[in-house]
Structure 1
Amino acid sequence: MASKYDALAKIIINNVGGKSNVISVTHCITRLRFKLKDERKANTDLLKGTDGIVTVMQSGGQYQVVIGNHVPDVYEVVTKLGGFSSETNDESEHKKMSPGAAFIDTISGIFQPALGVLAATGMIKGFLALFVFFKILSPASGVYQILYSVADGFFHYMPIFLGFTAAKKFKVNQFTGMALGASLMYINDVTAMASGEAISTMFAGTQFASNVYATFFGLPITIPMAGYASSVVPIVLAVYMASKVEKFFKNIIPDVVKTFLVPMFTLMVCAPLTFLIVGPIASILTSAIGIVTSSAYAFSPIIAGVFLGAIWQILVIFGLHWGVVPLAFLNFGSLGYDYILALVFTASFAQTAVVMAIALKTKDEKLRSLSIPAIISGFFGVTEPAIYGITLPRKKPFWISCIAAAIGGGIIGLTGLKTFMLGGLGVFGFPSYINPATNEIGGMIGAITAVVIAMAIGFVLTMITYKEDVKSESNSALTNDIMKENVVISPLSGSVMALSDIEDAAFSTGALGNGVAILPSEGKLVSPVDGEIVTLFKTKHAIGIKSDSGIEILIHVGMDTVKLDGKHFNALVNQGDRVKKGDVLLEFDIDAIKAEGYSMLTPVVVTNSDHYADLAFEVGKNIVMNEALMVLI
């Protein structure tokens, strides 16, 4: 069954370099995230100009096509039509990345698949706290208990779920990854180690303290004081280790018994190493990161809020915010709350307020029509349409939104607001400021206050400073003239065909530029634009024209007709001549050329098509000279 996104998906696949250029593709809330073999093969300008695509970003080793809220639907069609997997097919590609890009790619690959459910369960937890505060539900009720079990259960058993996503990222048997996560939770929740007396305590009196409950062949098995519930670093490191161990056993175990012996030996080796080495190292690393971030926050929560609030939208643009997200997970696991993501909560609202001001002040109906859906998305925490479509191209509004977000972040830092769960985006994030232990809503009221102040600052500053771009107004007035300049009329009468129908690879692959092919029915060629004859081959079989608006066009009459050395061709212009649309440039004898054994299929190519967002044309139809052939955008 055809999807309404089929056409868009085909354009995306073709212009990221085709199926063969795609290593893998995933998606987040608004973006398709491709890993390409060669990003130079992607037609970025054309993708940016395609309806349904907000913009394109190249960052963190990924080629990111920003779609908007309906990206899951587009992703489904793209993967179906392209036959793509979200898993990387070539490990060497990861090695080509810089360490920073590789880190971002790894973090996003592990956490991204779980983020939607994490936000959903966090929202349930937040709303339950709200219902208890307003006495709609009692914590003792069955309704509360069932909903809380899913709200808290997902985060509590996080190591199992991250075992799955990390295994997928590191190319390990995914059930092996889940088994390692389950072992962490089993020791944490079920065995005597979870309730028994500790034999001793390592690093007692420090933030690195861990209890020793048993030994493994004389080696101490340590459990961090907070346990492994909701932890993230131990399982990620454990699965990474498993990826190396599993690979080793795959190489030495016979195929006939690989199915069960590879996971068996992998688990037998990795489970002890996880508890003896990986777990303790991960706990120390987690504590060290916690000490650094908490110390920086304690030094000046206001400065931290201003700084993170100011740069958050810039990080989002390049997909670098994934480098910050794990810190919040560490805080949730060790502290039960987070102050890092709280500091950037006002950013999406500040961006939305700026767009609201632009929508009220602009006289450009098209800009206003773009603003309305961007405002709606912004209130739900999705700001890419606002950033890429409205504020970033106009620069000053974007910086105003960053200033407003910085002030909002400073206010949250000043008041010491914290989130107690990973809640939803935008307005759905407010309940995450309710402390579920006390069901007090003071934090939520504080978050609302900070958001209102940030929005007010962004709105007022934009209303005061925003001026309609004179160029934009001029563009509206001159749209018809510009369109006329960007219309290429047909230089020939005949049948319009695709460039791919030409046997010459230089034309069929688009190496010389985008365009069409025409099978002429009349031996006359006219100028498709107003401009100058910049090239006229001595053999008269090909002409290059540059229009007054800068369009560079090559018309090559027939295939291999250079071998005729000018026979059957009559040029009516010279190189350097000025011409108008419709002026006859060349005459040729179709029958004579065909009798010589040459194809008359004629490419009409825009050789600088990479300077344009898109070329609109229609193939499979008959056309007459002087009729519109292509429109350049």
Structure 2
Amino acid sequence: MASKYDGLARIIVQNVGGKSNIVSLTHCMTRLRFKLQDESKANTDVLKETDGIVTVIQSGGQYMVVIGQQVADVYDAVCTVGHITPGGAVDDNGNAIGSADAPKEKQSLFNAFVSIITTVFAPCLGVLAATGIVKGFISLFVAIGVLSNTSGTYNILYSLGDSFFYFMPMLLAYTASKKFGLPELEGMTIGAALLYPYLSTTSGMDISNLFGIPVVMPASGNYTSSVLPIVCAIAFAAWFEKKYKKFIPDSCKLFFVPLITCGVTFILTLWIIGPITSLLGDGLGIALNAIANFNGILLGAVVGGLWQILVMFGLHWATVPLMLNDLATKGYSNALTGMFGCTFAQCGAVLAIYLKTKNSKTKSLCVPALISGIAGVTEPAIYGLTLPKKKPFIITCIVGAITGAALMAFNVTGYTSAGTGIFGYTAYINTVTNDISGMIASIVISLIAVVLAFVMVYVTYSDEPAKAKK
């Protein structure tokens, strides 16, 4: 029976060197895993440019074509059109199910981390950019006086713009479940439970303990907008379910498996996984205060250099109370001033990639990521472009450190809690003396961040070299 993936399957077989070059073929959750006679015969550049293929990875003696969630259907089509004997599914480590001697994929810890982060966030990039643009524009309309932040229009549009960020744990639970092999609805239920209104220190409900064991909530008081807790929780849930599921009678699996997985994971997240990530955030706050007391310029460099990494882990929210406390007690704050250049460094890097790349898929991600970045939302740029390419991400961290130190050297100080990106300039106006020198300095340094990142990425960036076609 013909499949809609037959055309893609023929392209794949042809460009891995043909059937005669294929030793074996298996698949995991997202990848077709080929073992080839001679990998030099494969046209990697052609495969990467093919619609329906995310990328190609060569590692551990395997030639892996990343497909995504349709991998099982594409695998069946490849086996059919290529007349290939099926090798079956494999687990996340590359071990064929039922085979002890299948080759394992070897990855460094950093590459494994990047793989998890980009795979979990890749399906979210379009919506993430869209909601970021909405938030950016309504912040602009408020800043220029077109819209009031107490009006019905503002409240309704803000609900759309902020929805992804507020419910991020539940949405990431869906993509993380696909990554780790957990039923999506189970993962989303765990994410939804973490967002339930009762589960907040501001709800007025008693959430201090569970079965008499203390529950430690994040510094923000809830798990909204968090990243690390839910990804770790889903990873545990997937591992845990695979371990015990085989012992549950088939007649009870329909309801017992989700009951056990969701219940145990949710409880352990509140007792262990959540508190551990909270401790990371609390330790971060203590460290930043210590650096601030030692040297302000050093604080700017550290915050600017590490800010994007904190965003990736969702730990940046733990630093916000430092700024809010300063604003409440002193009327000003420079605790987080150093992070302001990071957004613009991402914009410069994305612009350089857009002008330099010849990859149509990469280029198509650049425009929405750039618009979103200008509006102050850098996640699409980080997860979709700079982090997967690695070198541009490192460059933006370096530029962030340089501009962070410069901002503190010029004593740029925040007097209000404003937005980020171009909508954050007004935060540096001294509302008591009407001194705009801080805003002018922030504008100049942000432009320097764009130029530095653009030049460094443009000079160093190149698409992966195409192999000679045979």
TM range (shorter): 0.5 to 0.7
Q: Which has the higher helix share?
A: 2
Counterpart Cα distance in 2 of 1:172 and 1:300 = 43
Q: 2:106 aligns with which of 97, 101, 106?
A: 97
Tell me which moved more, 97-106 or 251-260. Answer: 97-106
Q: 1:329 aligns with which of 314, 318, 324?
A: 314
CA shift for structure 1 position 456? 5.8
SS of the aligned residue for 2:122 comes to helix
Residue equivalent to 1:217: 211
Residue equivalent to 2:15: 15
1:91 is matched by which residue type in structure 2?
D
Contact 2:427 2:439 in 1 (8 A): no
> Does residue 1:46 correspond to 2:43, yes or no?
yes
Contact 1:128 1:148 in 2 (8 A): yes
SS of the aligned residue for 1:92 comes to coil
Counterpart Cα distance in 2 of 1:172 and 1:404 = 34
Shift of the 128–83 alpha-carbon distance from structure 1 to 2, 3 Å rule, reads farther
Deviations 1:35-55 (A, max 9, x none): 635477545763337895799
Q: Which has the higher strand share?
A: 1
Counterpart Cα distance in 1 of 2:395 and 2:113 = 29
Q: Aligned ranges for residues 212-291 of structure 1 at < 5 Å?
A: 213-227=207-221, 228-288=223-283
Contact 1:237 1:282 in 2 (8 A): no
Q: 2:204 aligns with which of 196, 203, 217?
A: 196
Counterpart Cα distance in 1 of 2:275 and 2:265 = 14
Counterpart Cα distance in 2 of 1:23 and 1:430 = 42
Shift of the 217–234 alpha-carbon distance from structure 1 to 2, 3 Å rule, reads same
When normalised by structure 2's length, the TM-score is 0.60
- Using the aligned pairs only, state the percent identity: 31
Shift of the 446–50 alpha-carbon distance from structure 1 to 2, 3 Å rule, reads farther
Pairwise CA RMSD of aligned residues? Answer: 5.7
Deviations 1:423-481 (A, max 9, x none): 9xxxxx9456468999x999997776446446667999999x9xxxxxxxxxxxxxxxx
Give 1 or 2 for the bigger CA radius of gyration.
Answer: 1
CA shift for structure 1 position 260? 1.1
Contact 2:399 2:449 in 1 (8 A): yes
Q: Aligned ranges for residues 127-138 of structure 1 at < 5 Å?
A: 127-138=137-148
Contact 1:164 1:177 in 2 (8 A): yes
Counterpart Cα distance in 2 of 1:99 and 1:288 = 26
Q: Which has the higher contact order (CA 8 A, sep 6+)?
A: 2
2:124 is matched by which residue type in structure 1?
A
> Does residue 1:346 correspond to 2:338, yes or no?
no
When normalised by structure 1's length, the TM-score is 0.47
Q: 2:177 aligns with which of 167, 171, 174?
A: 167
CA shift for structure 1 position 8? 7.8
Shift of the 121–341 alpha-carbon distance from structure 1 to 2, 3 Å rule, reads farther
Q: 1:36 aligns with which of 33, 37, 44?
A: 33
1:411 is matched by which residue type in structure 2?
T
Contact 2:25 2:33 in 1 (8 A): yes
CA shift for structure 1 position 181? 1.5
SS of the aligned residue for 1:36 comes to strand
Q: Aligned ranges for residues 396-545 of structure 1 at < 5 Å?
A: 410-415=402-407, 430-431=421-422, 433=424, 449-450=444-445, 452-453=447-448
> Does residue 1:614 correspond to 2:469, yes or no?
yes
- Unmatched tracts of structure 2, length 5 or more: 79-88, 96-103, 324-335, 371-390, 460-465
SS of the aligned residue for 1:346 comes to helix
CA shift for structure 1 position 197? 7.7
CA shift for structure 1 position 114? 2.4
Residue equivalent to 1:543: none
Residue equivalent to 2:135: 125
CA shift for structure 1 position 262? 0.9
Counterpart Cα distance in 2 of 1:237 and 1:161 = 14
1:137 is matched by which residue type in structure 2?
L
SS of the aligned residue for 1:93 comes to coil
Residue equivalent to 1:539: none
1:104 is matched by which residue type in structure 2?
V
SS of the aligned residue for 2:27 comes to strand
Counterpart Cα distance in 1 of 2:173 and 2:267 = 16
